[in-house]
Amino acid sequence: MEVVEGSYAVAHAVKCCRPHVISAYPITPQTHIVENLAQFVADGELECEFVPVDSEHSAMSVALGASAVGARAYSASTSQGLALMWEVLYNVSGMRLPVVMTAVNRALSAPLSIWNDQQDTVGARDSGWIQIYVEDIQEAHDALIQAYRIAESREVMLPAMICMDGFILTHTYEPVVLAEQEETDDFLPPYDPEYYLTVERPLSFGCFAEPDKFMEFRYMQHEAMERARFKIKEVADEFERAFGRYYGDLIQGYNLDGAQIVLVTFGSIIGTMKEIVKHEKDVGILKIRSYRPFPVKEVREALKDARVVAVVEKDFSAGFEGALFSDVKAALYNHVSDLKLLGFVLGLGGRDIPPEDISKIIERSRVVMDQGLKEEWEFIGLRGEIL
Partner 1 sequence: MGVYRFEGGDTVKNLFVSGHRACAGCGMAIAVKLILEAAGEDVIVVSPTGCLEIVSSPYPETSWRVPWIHSLFENAASVASGIEAGLKALGRKHEAKVLAIAGDGATADIGMGPLSGMFERGHDITYICYDNEAYMNTGVQRSSMTPPGASATTSPAGKVSFGEIHPKKDLASIAVAHGVGYVATASVGYGLDLMRKVRRAIDHDGPSFIHLHTSCCTGWRHPSSKTIEISRLAVLTGLWPLYEVVDGEITDVKRLPKRLPVEDYLKTQGRFSHLFRMEGGEEIIRRIQAIADANAERFGLDLEG
For residue 4, the SS3 value is strand
Nearest to 103 by CA among 170, 12, 3: 170
Q: How far is it between the farthest Cα atoms of the chain?
A: 70
Question: What is the closest distance, in whole angstroms, from the C-beta atom of residue 215 to partner 1 in the complex?
Answer: 13
Question: What is the closest distance, in whole angstroms, from the C-beta atom of residue 198 to partner 1 in the complex?
Answer: 6
Return the range that interacts with partner 1 (CB under 8 A); candidates 44-52, 160-168, 171-179, 323-331.
44-52
Among 1, 3, 192, 202, interactor with partner 1 by CB under 8 A: 202
Strands 160-165 and 2-5, sheet pairing:
unpaired
Nearer to partner 1, 199 or 386 (CB): 199
The gap between the terminal CA atoms of the chain, to the nearest Å, is 46
Distance between CA atoms of 130 and 82, rounded to whole angstroms?
Answer: 15
Torsion of CA 217, 222, 225, 227, to 10 degrees: -90
Return the ∠ at Cα 348 (arms to 343 and 350), rounded to 5°: 140
Return the ∠ at Cα 365 (arms to 363 and 366), rounded to 5°: 65
Question: What is the closest distance, in whole angstroms, from the C-beta atom of residue 214 to partner 1 in the complex?
Answer: 9
Question: What is the closest distance, in whole angstroms, from the C-beta atom of residue 37 to partner 1 in the complex?
Answer: 14
Nearer to partner 1, 7 or 58 (CB): 58
Distance between CA atoms of 368 and 169, rounded to whole angstroms?
Answer: 33
Question: What is the closest distance, in whole angstroms, from the C-beta atom of residue 329 to partner 1 in the complex?
Answer: 35
Indicate whether 198 belongs to the interface with partner 1 (CB under 8 A): yes
Return the range that interacts with partner 1 (CB under 8 A); candidates 46-54, 148-156, 305-313, 360-368.
46-54
Nearer to partner 1, 94 or 349 (CB): 94
Question: What is the closest distance, in whole angstroms, from the C-beta atom of residue 84 to partner 1 in the complex?
Answer: 11
Indicate the residue type of 33: I
Nearest to 107 by CA among 165, 161, 58, 32: 165
Distance between CA atoms of 148 and 144, rounded to whole angstroms?
Answer: 7
Question: What is the closest distance, in whole angstroms, from the C-beta atom of residue 208 to partner 1 in the complex?
Answer: 6
Among 10, 64, 83, 262, interactor with partner 1 by CB under 8 A: 64
Indicate whether 199 belongs to the interface with partner 1 (CB under 8 A): yes
Among 9, 68, 76, 306, interactor with partner 1 by CB under 8 A: 68
Question: What is the closest distance, in whole angstroms, from the C-beta atom of residue 216 to partner 1 in the complex?
Answer: 10
Q: Which of residues 108-147 bind partner 1 (CB under 8 A)?
A: none
Total residues interacting with partner 1, rule: CB under 8 A: 44
Nearer to partner 1, 87 or 223 (CB): 87
Indicate whether 20 belongs to the interface with partner 1 (CB under 8 A): yes
Beta bridge partners of residue 283, listed in sequence order:
261
Q: Give the contacts of 196 (CB within 8 A, at least 6 positions apart).
A: 68, 69, 70
Among 38, 41, 53, 369, interactor with partner 1 by CB under 8 A: 53
Distance of CA 160 to the CA centre of its chain: 8
Helices assigned H by DSSP within 98-192: 119-123, 137-152, 181-187
Burial of 367 (0-12, 13-18, 19+ CB in 10 A): middle
Indicate whether 24 belongs to the interface with partner 1 (CB under 8 A): no
Question: What is the closest distance, in whole angstroms, from the C-beta atom of residue 71 to partner 1 in the complex?
Answer: 4
Among 39, 181, 183, 209, interactor with partner 1 by CB under 8 A: 209
Among 41, 69, 178, 367, interactor with partner 1 by CB under 8 A: 69
Q: Which of residues 73-102 bind partner 1 (CB under 8 A)?
A: 73, 87-88, 91, 95
Burial of 99 (0-12, 13-18, 19+ CB in 10 A): buried
Among 35, 49, 174, 185, interactor with partner 1 by CB under 8 A: 49
Whether the link from the prior residue into 29 is cis, omega within 30° of 0, is yes
Residues that bind partner 1 (CB under 8 A): 20-21, 23, 47-49, 51-55, 57-58, 61-71, 73, 87-88, 91, 95, 197-210, 213
